[in-house]
């Protein structure tokens, strides 16, 4: 299928640029010399360092360090899930899950019809990757905005 090859090329092009070493996002500006991070991950890195440094001064600040470290973990988990989608094996369950996440964000419930098998039967791998990428750009922004809350209430 010629169209499919074009879509694969388009995805390879999307993901060819440098990406954040933690969250794997390659749509954001990166900073830093050794580890290249987006601004959001950079702030988390600073928070971890700050909390580690203040731990002796404020023994009750342990929670802050825990939360900061959990934020780092969440960012890296996003990187594993969404970084380099052009090479990931995206199956129907990945798409079903991502569509429901977006539905939860917008209408606060799962979609009435959302079948993992249908994604595998009617969409090629390149098409599934493309859909997953589009959904990821919504999920990622929300995850970034709520990273601290998610870490605090995990």
* Residue in 11, 20, 67, 88 binding Zn ion, rule: CB under 5 A: 20
**Residue 95 sits in the site that holds Zn ion (CB under 5 A):** no
**Measured in whole angstroms, how far is the alpha carbon of residue 43 from the centre of its chain?**
16
| Rounded Cα–Cα distance for residues 34 and 72 (Å) | 17
**Does the protein bind Zn ion through residue 139 (CB under 5 A)?**
no
Does the protein bind Zn ion through residue 38 (CB under 5 A)? yes
Interface with Zn ion, residue 41, by CB under 5 A? yes
| Nearest CB to Zn ion, comparing residues 116 and 141 | 141
Do 132 and 98 contact (CB within 8 A), yes or no? yes
C-alpha separations of 18 from 22, 28, 78 in Å: 12, 9, 16
4 secondary structure, DSSP code: H
* 120 in Cβ contact with 92 (< 8 Å): yes
DSSP state of 37: E
Choice between 128 and 140, CB closer to Zn ion: 140
Q: CB of 105: closest distance to Zn ion in angstroms?
A: 20
Please tell me whether residue 44 binds Zn ion under the rule CB under 5 A: no
Q: Which range touches Zn ion (CB under 5 A), out of 12-20, 56-64, 80-88, 132-140? A: 12-20
Q: Which phi-psi region, left, alpha or beta, contains residue 108 (left: φ > 0; alpha: ψ -120 to 50)?
A: left
Q: Is 23 in the site for Zn ion (CB under 5 A)?
A: yes
Residue whose CB is less far from Zn ion, 82 or 119:
82
Residues of this chain that interact with Zn ion (CB under 5 A) are 20, 22-23, 38, 41
């Amino acid at each position: 299928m010629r169209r499919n090859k074009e879509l694969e090329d388009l995805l390879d092009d999307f993901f060819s640029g440098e990406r954040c070493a933690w969250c794997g996002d390659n749509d954001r500006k990166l900073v830093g010399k050794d580890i290249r991070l987006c601004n959001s991950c950079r702030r988390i890195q600073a928070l971890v360092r700050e909390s580690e440094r203040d731990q002796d001064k404020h023994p009750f600040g342990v929670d802050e360090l825990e939360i900061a470290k959990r934020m780092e973990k969440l960012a890296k988990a996003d990187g594993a899930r969404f970084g380099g989608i052009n090479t990931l094996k995206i199956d129907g369950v990945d798409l079903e899950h991502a569509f429901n996440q977006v539905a939860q964000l917008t209408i606060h419930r799962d979609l009435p019809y959302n079948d993992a098998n249908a994604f595998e039967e009617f969409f090629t791998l390149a098409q599934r990757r493309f859909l997953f990428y589009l959904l990821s750009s919504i999920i990622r922004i929300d995850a970034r905005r709520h990273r601290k809350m998610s870490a605090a209430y995990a």
